[in-house]
Amino acid sequence: MTKQKPRFRAAAVQAAPIFLDLDATIDKAIGLIEEAAGNGADLVAFPETFIPGYPWYIWLDSVAWQMQFVQRYFENALEYGSPQAERLAKAARDSKIMVAMSHSERDGGSLYMGQWIIGPDGRTIAKRRKLKPTHVERTVFGEGDGRDLSVYDSELGKIGALCCWEHLQPLSKYAMFAQNEQVHIAAWPSFSIFPGGAYQLGPEVNTGASRAYAVEGGCFVIAPTALVSPEMSEILCDTDTKKALLTVGGGYAQIYAPDGQMISNVLAPDEEGLVYADIDLGMISLAKGPADPSGHYSRSDVTRLVLDKTPREAMLVLHADSPARNLADEAPEDEPDVKTV
Protein backbone atom coordinates (compact mmCIF):
# COMPACT_ATOMS: atom_id res chain seq x y z
CA MET A 1 0.00 0.00 0.00
CA THR A 2 1.35 3.43 -0.96
CA LYS A 3 2.09 5.65 2.02
CA GLN A 4 0.12 8.90 1.93
CA LYS A 5 2.15 12.09 1.83
CA PRO A 6 1.83 14.36 4.87
CA ARG A 7 -0.94 16.93 4.98
CA PHE A 8 -0.78 19.74 7.50
CA ARG A 9 -1.51 23.40 8.13
CA ALA A 10 1.26 25.99 8.01
CA ALA A 11 1.34 29.53 9.37
CA ALA A 12 3.59 32.46 8.48
CA VAL A 13 4.04 35.37 10.90
CA GLN A 14 3.54 38.98 9.85
CA ALA A 15 4.45 41.02 12.92
CA ALA A 16 6.90 43.46 14.45
CA PRO A 17 9.23 42.49 17.29
CA ILE A 18 9.51 44.43 20.51
CA PHE A 19 12.63 46.03 19.10
CA LEU A 20 15.85 45.59 21.08
CA ASP A 21 14.04 43.71 23.85
CA LEU A 22 14.91 39.99 23.90
CA ASP A 23 12.53 38.89 26.65
CA ALA A 24 9.56 40.93 25.44
CA THR A 25 10.01 39.70 21.88
CA ILE A 26 10.10 36.10 23.11
CA ASP A 27 6.88 36.79 25.03
CA LYS A 28 5.33 38.01 21.78
CA ALA A 29 6.73 35.05 19.81
CA ILE A 30 5.25 32.60 22.31
CA GLY A 31 1.87 34.29 21.95
CA LEU A 32 2.06 33.85 18.16
CA ILE A 33 3.14 30.22 18.55
CA GLU A 34 0.14 29.55 20.78
CA GLU A 35 -2.19 31.39 18.39
CA ALA A 36 -0.95 29.39 15.40
CA ALA A 37 -1.34 26.11 17.25
CA GLY A 38 -4.78 27.12 18.47
CA ASN A 39 -5.84 27.65 14.87
CA GLY A 40 -4.72 24.16 13.89
CA ALA A 41 -1.27 24.91 12.47
CA ASP A 42 1.43 22.24 12.67
CA LEU A 43 4.20 24.67 11.62
CA VAL A 44 4.73 28.37 12.28
CA ALA A 45 7.55 30.40 10.69
CA PHE A 46 8.96 33.75 11.83
CA PRO A 47 10.53 36.64 9.85
CA GLU A 48 14.25 37.26 9.45
CA THR A 49 15.97 38.27 12.74
CA PHE A 50 12.59 38.54 14.47
CA ILE A 51 14.55 38.38 17.72
CA PRO A 52 15.39 41.15 18.63
CA GLY A 53 14.39 42.75 15.31
CA TYR A 54 16.13 43.57 12.06
CA PRO A 55 18.90 46.19 12.60
CA TRP A 56 17.49 48.84 10.27
CA TYR A 57 19.82 51.46 11.76
CA ILE A 58 22.62 50.15 9.51
CA TRP A 59 20.74 51.52 6.47
CA LEU A 60 19.87 54.94 7.88
CA ASP A 61 22.94 56.94 8.96
CA SER A 62 26.67 57.05 9.66
CA VAL A 63 28.60 54.46 11.62
CA ALA A 64 29.06 56.99 14.42
CA TRP A 65 25.28 57.42 14.72
CA GLN A 66 24.76 53.65 14.65
CA MET A 67 27.01 53.09 17.67
CA GLN A 68 24.16 53.93 20.06
CA PHE A 69 22.47 50.65 19.02
CA VAL A 70 25.44 48.28 18.82
CA GLN A 71 25.67 47.12 22.43
CA ARG A 72 21.89 46.98 22.92
CA TYR A 73 21.48 44.87 19.81
CA PHE A 74 24.25 42.46 20.83
CA GLU A 75 22.96 42.05 24.38
CA ASN A 76 19.42 41.31 23.17
CA ALA A 77 20.41 38.70 20.58
CA LEU A 78 19.49 35.08 21.27
CA GLU A 79 22.09 32.61 22.52
CA TYR A 80 21.47 28.88 22.21
CA GLY A 81 21.27 27.11 25.56
CA SER A 82 20.11 30.26 27.34
CA PRO A 83 16.93 30.46 29.45
CA GLN A 84 15.32 32.47 26.65
CA ALA A 85 16.09 29.75 24.10
CA GLU A 86 14.69 27.16 26.49
CA ARG A 87 11.46 29.16 26.68
CA LEU A 88 11.04 28.93 22.92
CA ALA A 89 11.71 25.20 22.89
CA LYS A 90 9.20 24.73 25.71
CA ALA A 91 6.59 26.77 23.82
CA ALA A 92 6.97 24.52 20.78
CA ARG A 93 6.66 21.44 22.99
CA ASP A 94 3.71 22.75 24.99
CA SER A 95 1.81 23.72 21.83
CA LYS A 96 2.94 20.61 19.93
CA ILE A 97 3.92 22.68 16.90
CA MET A 98 7.05 22.95 14.76
CA VAL A 99 8.59 26.42 15.06
CA ALA A 100 10.92 27.99 12.51
CA MET A 101 12.40 30.91 14.44
CA SER A 102 14.61 33.46 12.74
CA HIS A 103 16.84 35.47 15.05
CA SER A 104 20.06 37.29 15.61
CA GLU A 105 22.25 34.51 17.00
CA ARG A 106 24.90 35.48 19.56
CA ASP A 107 27.92 33.19 19.68
CA GLY A 108 30.92 34.44 21.63
CA GLY A 109 31.61 37.97 20.49
CA SER A 110 29.90 37.59 17.11
CA LEU A 111 26.38 37.73 15.71
CA TYR A 112 24.92 35.62 12.92
CA MET A 113 21.62 35.71 11.06
CA GLY A 114 20.24 32.48 12.45
CA GLN A 115 17.30 30.20 11.76
CA TRP A 116 16.31 27.59 14.32
CA ILE A 117 13.81 24.85 13.46
CA ILE A 118 12.33 23.33 16.61
CA GLY A 119 10.25 20.16 16.48
CA PRO A 120 6.84 19.78 18.16
CA ASP A 121 8.62 17.83 20.90
CA GLY A 122 10.81 20.86 21.66
CA ARG A 123 13.93 19.26 20.22
CA THR A 124 16.13 20.91 17.62
CA ILE A 125 15.69 19.80 14.02
CA ALA A 126 18.13 22.33 12.54
CA LYS A 127 20.25 25.36 13.30
CA ARG A 128 21.57 27.38 10.40
CA ARG A 129 23.14 30.74 9.59
CA LYS A 130 22.72 33.01 6.60
CA LEU A 131 25.56 32.07 4.32
CA LYS A 132 26.43 35.62 3.28
CA PRO A 133 24.84 38.65 4.96
CA THR A 134 23.65 41.18 2.39
CA HIS A 135 25.37 44.53 1.77
CA VAL A 136 25.59 46.56 5.04
CA GLU A 137 24.44 43.53 7.06
CA ARG A 138 28.07 42.44 6.84
CA THR A 139 28.95 45.23 9.30
CA VAL A 140 26.90 43.41 11.96
CA PHE A 141 26.81 39.70 11.15
CA GLY A 142 29.27 36.91 10.43
CA GLU A 143 28.90 34.26 7.72
CA GLY A 144 27.68 30.70 7.71
CA ASP A 145 29.30 27.80 5.82
CA GLY A 146 28.30 24.96 3.56
CA ARG A 147 26.54 23.09 6.35
CA ASP A 148 23.94 25.87 6.32
CA LEU A 149 22.69 24.78 2.90
CA SER A 150 21.01 21.64 4.19
CA VAL A 151 17.61 19.98 4.07
CA TYR A 152 16.34 18.02 7.08
CA ASP A 153 13.96 15.11 7.49
CA SER A 154 10.95 15.85 9.67
CA GLU A 155 7.48 14.49 10.26
CA LEU A 156 6.20 17.24 7.95
CA GLY A 157 8.53 16.27 5.12
CA LYS A 158 11.97 17.40 4.03
CA ILE A 159 12.35 20.93 5.37
CA GLY A 160 14.89 23.66 4.70
CA ALA A 161 15.32 27.40 5.22
CA LEU A 162 17.02 30.47 3.78
CA CYS A 163 17.00 34.16 4.67
CA CYS A 164 16.05 37.13 2.52
CA TRP A 165 18.37 37.59 -0.48
CA GLU A 166 19.72 34.07 -0.23
CA HIS A 167 16.69 33.54 -2.45
CA LEU A 168 18.45 35.53 -5.17
CA GLN A 169 21.50 33.24 -5.16
CA PRO A 170 21.00 30.63 -7.93
CA LEU A 171 23.62 28.17 -6.67
CA SER A 172 22.41 28.28 -3.07
CA LYS A 173 18.87 27.64 -4.26
CA TYR A 174 19.97 24.74 -6.41
CA ALA A 175 21.85 23.21 -3.49
CA MET A 176 18.54 23.08 -1.64
CA PHE A 177 16.56 21.81 -4.62
CA ALA A 178 19.07 18.99 -5.17
CA GLN A 179 18.43 17.73 -1.63
CA ASN A 180 14.76 17.19 -2.55
CA GLU A 181 13.43 19.96 -0.34
CA GLN A 182 9.65 19.79 0.10
CA VAL A 183 8.87 22.54 2.60
CA HIS A 184 10.92 25.72 2.49
CA ILE A 185 11.02 28.54 5.05
CA ALA A 186 11.76 31.87 3.35
CA ALA A 187 12.37 34.37 6.16
CA TRP A 188 12.20 38.06 5.20
CA PRO A 189 12.40 41.37 7.06
CA SER A 190 9.79 44.05 6.35
CA PHE A 191 9.82 45.57 2.87
CA SER A 192 10.03 49.09 4.26
CA ILE A 193 13.40 50.56 3.34
CA PHE A 194 13.93 53.29 0.72
CA PRO A 195 10.39 53.25 -0.73
CA GLY A 196 10.39 54.56 -4.28
CA GLY A 197 14.18 54.66 -4.32
CA ALA A 198 15.30 51.02 -4.46
CA TYR A 199 12.85 48.83 -6.37
CA GLN A 200 14.87 45.67 -5.79
CA LEU A 201 14.37 46.05 -2.02
CA GLY A 202 10.60 46.32 -2.33
CA PRO A 203 7.71 43.85 -2.11
CA GLU A 204 7.27 43.15 -5.82
CA VAL A 205 10.78 41.79 -6.31
CA ASN A 206 11.05 39.94 -3.03
CA THR A 207 7.64 38.30 -2.93
CA GLY A 208 8.42 37.37 -6.53
CA ALA A 209 11.60 35.66 -5.32
CA SER A 210 9.59 33.52 -2.90
CA ARG A 211 7.12 32.60 -5.62
CA ALA A 212 9.91 31.79 -8.06
CA TYR A 213 11.60 29.58 -5.45
CA ALA A 214 8.40 27.56 -5.10
CA VAL A 215 7.94 26.94 -8.81
CA GLU A 216 11.66 26.44 -9.54
CA GLY A 217 12.12 23.99 -6.68
CA GLY A 218 8.74 22.32 -6.90
CA CYS A 219 8.23 22.85 -3.17
CA PHE A 220 5.98 24.69 -0.74
CA VAL A 221 7.33 28.06 0.43
CA ILE A 222 6.34 29.54 3.79
CA ALA A 223 7.36 33.21 3.60
CA PRO A 224 6.93 35.24 6.82
CA THR A 225 7.76 38.95 6.84
CA ALA A 226 8.24 41.43 9.65
CA LEU A 227 6.69 44.85 10.16
CA VAL A 228 8.19 48.15 11.18
CA SER A 229 5.96 49.27 14.06
CA PRO A 230 5.35 52.91 15.05
CA GLU A 231 7.40 52.18 18.18
CA MET A 232 10.32 51.00 16.06
CA SER A 233 10.05 54.12 13.94
CA GLU A 234 10.28 56.28 17.06
CA ILE A 235 13.46 54.49 18.13
CA LEU A 236 15.15 54.45 14.72
CA CYS A 237 13.91 57.57 12.95
CA ASP A 238 14.91 60.78 14.72
CA THR A 239 14.45 62.96 11.64
CA ASP A 240 11.84 63.37 8.91
CA THR A 241 14.41 62.12 6.41
CA LYS A 242 14.81 58.84 8.27
CA LYS A 243 11.05 58.45 8.52
CA ALA A 244 10.87 58.79 4.75
CA LEU A 245 13.66 56.21 4.31
CA LEU A 246 12.07 53.61 6.62
CA THR A 247 8.29 53.50 6.54
CA VAL A 248 5.91 51.90 9.03
CA GLY A 249 4.43 48.58 7.89
CA GLY A 250 6.04 46.59 5.09
CA GLY A 251 4.44 43.21 5.80
CA TYR A 252 3.79 40.78 2.93
CA ALA A 253 3.66 37.32 4.54
CA GLN A 254 2.54 34.71 2.01
CA ILE A 255 2.56 30.95 1.39
CA TYR A 256 3.08 29.41 -2.07
CA ALA A 257 2.34 26.02 -3.58
CA PRO A 258 4.85 24.08 -5.73
CA ASP A 259 3.19 25.37 -8.90
CA GLY A 260 3.78 28.98 -7.83
CA GLN A 261 0.27 29.93 -6.81
CA MET A 262 -0.29 31.80 -3.56
CA ILE A 263 -2.46 29.63 -1.32
CA SER A 264 -2.62 31.67 1.91
CA ASN A 265 -4.84 34.48 3.06
CA VAL A 266 -3.35 37.97 2.87
CA LEU A 267 -3.03 40.68 5.50
CA ALA A 268 -2.73 44.42 4.89
CA PRO A 269 0.92 45.60 4.83
CA ASP A 270 0.54 47.30 8.23
CA GLU A 271 -1.54 44.55 9.85
CA GLU A 272 -0.11 42.13 12.39
CA GLY A 273 -1.18 38.52 12.44
CA LEU A 274 -0.70 35.13 10.84
CA VAL A 275 -1.43 33.83 7.36
CA TYR A 276 -2.35 30.17 6.92
CA ALA A 277 -2.41 27.53 4.21
CA ASP A 278 -3.22 23.83 4.05
CA ILE A 279 -0.25 21.85 2.73
CA ASP A 280 -0.55 18.58 0.80
CA LEU A 281 2.88 17.23 -0.12
CA GLY A 282 1.23 15.06 -2.74
CA MET A 283 1.00 18.19 -4.91
CA ILE A 284 4.77 18.10 -5.38
CA SER A 285 4.50 15.17 -7.79
CA LEU A 286 2.21 17.27 -10.00
CA ALA A 287 4.67 20.16 -10.02
CA LYS A 288 7.74 18.02 -10.60
CA GLY A 289 6.11 15.87 -13.26
CA PRO A 290 7.00 18.33 -16.03
CA ALA A 291 10.14 19.78 -14.42
CA ASP A 292 12.17 18.28 -11.57
CA PRO A 293 15.14 20.68 -11.38
CA SER A 294 17.68 18.19 -10.02
CA GLY A 295 16.03 15.04 -11.38
CA HIS A 296 14.66 14.23 -14.81
CA TYR A 297 14.81 17.88 -15.93
CA SER A 298 18.49 18.29 -15.04
CA ARG A 299 21.56 17.69 -17.22
CA SER A 300 24.26 16.71 -14.75
CA ASP A 301 26.48 15.70 -17.66
CA VAL A 302 26.53 19.37 -18.69
CA THR A 303 26.28 21.35 -15.44
CA ARG A 304 26.77 20.23 -11.84
CA LEU A 305 27.04 21.97 -8.49
CA VAL A 306 29.73 21.22 -5.89
CA LEU A 307 28.53 21.80 -2.32
CA ASP A 308 31.28 21.88 0.30
CA LYS A 309 29.89 21.24 3.79
CA THR A 310 33.29 21.29 5.50
CA PRO A 311 32.98 23.16 8.82
CA ARG A 312 34.78 26.50 8.86
CA GLU A 313 36.21 26.52 12.36
CA ALA A 314 38.36 29.36 13.70
CA MET A 315 40.76 26.95 15.42
CA LEU A 316 41.89 23.41 14.73
CA VAL A 317 43.25 21.63 17.80
CA LEU A 318 45.85 18.96 17.04
CA HIS A 319 47.20 16.47 19.55
CA ALA A 320 50.36 14.37 19.59
CA ASP A 321 48.57 11.45 18.00
CA SER A 322 46.72 13.54 15.37
CA PRO A 323 47.50 12.20 11.87
CA ALA A 324 47.70 15.73 10.47
CA ARG A 325 49.98 17.10 13.18
CA ASN A 326 53.15 17.33 11.11
CA LEU A 327 51.77 17.41 7.60
CA ALA A 328 53.47 20.71 6.81
CA ASP A 329 56.85 19.40 7.94
CA GLU A 330 56.48 16.08 6.17
CA ALA A 331 55.36 17.39 2.78
CA PRO A 332 57.86 16.74 -0.03
CA GLU A 333 59.93 19.79 -0.88
CA ASP A 334 59.10 19.57 -4.57
CA GLU A 335 55.33 19.28 -4.04
CA PRO A 336 53.58 22.24 -5.71
CA ASP A 337 51.55 24.66 -3.61
CA VAL A 338 48.48 24.31 -5.83
CA LYS A 339 46.99 21.07 -7.03
CA THR A 340 44.82 20.86 -10.10
CA VAL A 341 41.98 18.37 -10.13
Catalytic residue IDs:
48, 130, 164
CB atoms within 10 A of CB 281: 19
Give dist(CA 140, CA 89) in Å, integer.
26
Closest Cα to residue 241, out of 62, 15, 72?
Answer: 62
Give how far the C-alpha of residue 262 lies from the chain's centroid of Cα atoms, to the nearest Å.
19
Residues 6+ apart with CB under 8 A from 266: 254, 275
Closest Cα to residue 147, out of 308, 339, 35, 318?
Answer: 308
Give dist(CA 256, CA 88) in Å, integer.
26
If DSSP codes are grouped into helix, strand and coil, which group holds residue 204? helix
Give dist(CA 254, CA 221) in Å, integer.
8
Cα separation values, 50 from 77, 165, 224, 340, Å = 10, 16, 10, 44
Indicate the Cα dihedral angle 143, 108, 26, 126, nearest 10°.
50
Give dist(CA 250, CA 190) in Å, integer.
5
Count, residues in the chain = 341
